[in-house]
Amino acid sequence: MKLNIRRLNESDYETLVKWWDAWPEWQAPPKTFLPDNGTGGFIVEKNNIGVVAGFVYMTNSKAALLEWIISNPEYRESDRKDAIELLINAVEQVLKDQGIKHVFSIGRNNHLIETHKKLNWNVDNKPSYEIIKNI
């Protein structure tokens, strides 16, 4: 069966928290940190099983952020990379259709960085840090 993509809904957040918790270097962001309270993004599925998801932050410019890309740690099929590419390409198309000219993302996962490079994203080789303050 093929990969499908859909918008996130309220019930997906619990699943994504389990994914974040299963990856040792990740911490689940609170819903209030995510666009549209955790529904502002997309999930790729195969046979109704979530494979990868990501969130899109809209801005007041012609730019958007694609962030918090996370994959299902229990998904073992060989098309995980295809699912990540589908997610990124679909987000690009949705944003392009909305008149967005730039997409920005932050990443440290080597596989995800290599996927972005493959899809012609400009990847800065200097490390950067996420700087967050809860107020």
Q: What is the pLDDT of residues 8-19, one digit of tens each?
A: 999 999 999 999
Whether pLDDT at 129 is above 80 = no
Whether pLDDT at 133 is above 80 = no
Task: Please state, rounded to an integer, the average pLDDT across all residues of the chain.
Answer: 91
Mean pLDDT, range 22-34, rounded to an integer: 90
CATH architecture of the domain covering 4-118: 3-Layer(aba) Sandwich (3.40)
- Express each pLDDT in 85-116 by its tens digit: 999 999 999 999 999 999 999 887 778 888 88
pTM for the model: 0.87
User: In the structure encoding, which two tokens stand for residue 92, read together?
Assistant: 């690009």
Q: Identify the residue with better confidence: 114 or 47.
A: 47
Instruction: Report phi then psi at 53, rounded to 5.
Output: -145, 160
